[in-house]
Amino acid sequence: MCWRTPHPVSRTTAPDNPHLHGVGKPSVRDVLRTRGPLAVALVSLGLGIALAAAGWGHAADGVWAAGVVIVLLPLAVDVGRSLYHGDVGVDLIALAAMVGTLAIAEYLAGVVVAVMLSGGNALETAASHRARRELTKLIQRAPRTALRHGPSGIVEIPVDDVRPGDVVVVRAGEVVPVDGVALGGRAVLDQSALTGESLPVVVEPAGVVHSGTANAGDLFEMRALRPAAESAYAGLVRLVRAAETQRAPFVRLADRFAVIMLPFTLVVASAAWLFSSDPVRAVAVLVVATPCPLILAAPIALISGVARAARVGVIVKGGGVIEQLGSARTVLFDKTGTLTRGAVQIERVVPIGRVTEDELLTLAASVEQYSVHVTAVAVVRAARERGLLPLDAIDVVETPGAGIRGRVGQVMVAVGGAGGDARLTARREQRPGGMVIAVWIDQDLAGEIIMSDPLRPDAQNLVERLRRAGVRHVAMVSGDRKEVADATAAELRLDAVYADQSPADKLNVVRGMRASVDLRPVVMVGDGINDAPALALADCGIALGVAGATVSSETADAVITVDRIDRVADAIEIGHRSLGIARQSVIVGIGLSALAMLVAALGYLPPIAGALVQEAIDVAVILNALRALAD
């Protein structure tokens, strides 16, 4: 038997850390609510057996009946509340079964039902907590304070008081509180808890340091890039909170099935009573009828998939995302920073006109430092490597898919696409497969920056793995020009290429794929601001969130926290396995329950045996569902 709590289990939270709100260990009240009925039922069962063995049969019946009533009363209240709100479920079958055992004086059968009923609820809660363990570990690491370097020295402040530009000190072993840029010497970071990567990562001076990683080396200083609430780690915390509250479509289907199961069960039980004139048969049917395999196995298998994905560095927003990943038929990839390294390398800086190379690169870096796009990061990095310091810019505006502009000193600087300039277009055509961005000063073309963006080494077998997992169509949707996109697609053996795509064009591609029954569900994978609309429209959006809490990671259904694109295949394989286990558990469990109902209706399965058989089925399918946690 199963007894579903009508409201989500509340969780305690550290009062001084708002990032932990809504997650954590269950409260004492929740423990008593889930385990209290089980304790009462077990005590009454054991005490009654002892009294019966001593020859006090009537006393034993009284103890068993009392145990049934104590478990029955809160169940009746919950069922009544649910019925008042129009929620009819299999709890009503459980209530009818327990009332039936009392009516026909099958007190031992009733207390066995009570034990199994409360035991199923406790097992469900324990299984769900185990499945969420990986997510909870991630949340509990969220830092509460930070050490800020100010005029009066190093001061410990609440992490929410850190502002962009503040110098933060991170001591050995501490968790990085906010996203920032390393100052001074190199920083050695342990990213294992956040990304699953076991080897420490060395961040050079001026390199980006991500919140949630741990300092595995000596003390270092960093300059904060954004507030704690906008950091990469805070974004992951929000994702985890969503993962703990969202329910999978498969689970909602279980609820609808329960509504169908209720009248069917009542008809079978009534028929058994009518044709046999034996109310015991009707009670036995009710005892074995509740479809716990569907109600428990589906959510446990899918939430286990959520925990399994977190273990490999993929944070997903609940079981519904696992279900979409498990049934994915189309996967669309952005190119730059997604299929390619994203660590774009600058090959040449070519000034056009009177500016020098250093002047051109300094002006470009001055506006690009306000962007998180991979090409912008490469420009700023190249300038710093040459000893050039970006200048302050004002009125900075970034247009997804078009570029960024801002005022530096007395001039307006724009960095981005060709913008229709014939000179730059011609030069691009001479460099098939290369990346060229233009730099304008006061609307005059001042030069170009030639870049290369090599393919990620872990992308080589990605397409093959996706096809083995059941994906039928793998394509690339990129803002790069056709010859560049085609070169990457040919190397990966993709099914299709959509080049020169603006954010609106990417939306249309996703919309077209979703319109085809054969290509749904559609998974979109990207990392930039211009990918956010497509990620939101896709059946499942996956963002590479290693660069921080960008719009893409906030709108996506899943975020990859490690800088590896092959985690997309891992996530889809985990989803496929979890969904398969859920379906397997449901089909087998419901089939066995239906068979037990038939046997009980024919009089071959008394209530006590029926309760034991049904709960054996429940335990088996729950344990099977937990296989989704295994590697």
* 467: enclosing H helix or E strand: helix 462-468
Do residues 208 and 230 lie in contact, with contact meaning Cβ atoms separated by under 8 Å?
no
Do residues 624 and 584 lie in contact, with contact meaning Cβ atoms separated by under 8 Å?
yes
Give 463's DSSP letter: H
Do residues 177 and 159 lie in contact, with contact meaning Cβ atoms separated by under 8 Å?
yes
Neighbours of 180 (CB within 10 A): 27
Do residues 253 and 63 lie in contact, with contact meaning Cβ atoms separated by under 8 Å?
no
Distance CA 462, CA 283 (A): 55
* 570: nearest Cα among 627, 624, 631, 526: 631
Distance CA 529, CA 552 (A): 6
Neighbours of 222 (CB within 10 A): 26
Residues pairing with 407 in the sheet: 394, 412
Distance CA 487, CA 390 (A): 33
Q: Which residues contact 449 (CB under 8 A, 6 or more apart)?
A: 346, 348, 349, 350, 360, 361, 364, 379, 436, 437, 439
Catalytic, out of 91, 160, 166, 334 = 334
Q: Is 334 among the catalytic positions?
A: yes
Do residues 448 and 438 lie in contact, with contact meaning Cβ atoms separated by under 8 Å?
yes
* 316: enclosing H helix or E strand: strand 314-316
Q: Which residue's structure tokens are 């906010």?
A: 178
Q: Which residue's structure tokens are 């729950």?
A: 622
Neighbours of 129 (CB within 10 A): 14
Do residues 265 and 610 lie in contact, with contact meaning Cβ atoms separated by under 8 Å?
no
Q: Which amino acid is at 207?
A: G
**Residue 390 preceded by cis peptide, ω within 30:** no
Q: Which two tokens stand for residue 90?
A: 């299999």
Q: Which residues contact 619 (CB under 8 A, 6 or more apart)?
A: 123
* 348: nearest Cα among 427, 259, 402: 427
**Phi then psi dihedrals of residue 622, to 5 deg:** -70, -45
Do residues 390 and 362 lie in contact, with contact meaning Cβ atoms separated by under 8 Å?
yes
Pairing of strands 330-333, 522-526: parallel
Do residues 478 and 336 lie in contact, with contact meaning Cβ atoms separated by under 8 Å?
yes
Residues making up the chain, counted from first to last: 631
* 411: enclosing H helix or E strand: strand 411-416
Do residues 600 and 586 lie in contact, with contact meaning Cβ atoms separated by under 8 Å?
no
- Positions marked active-site: 334
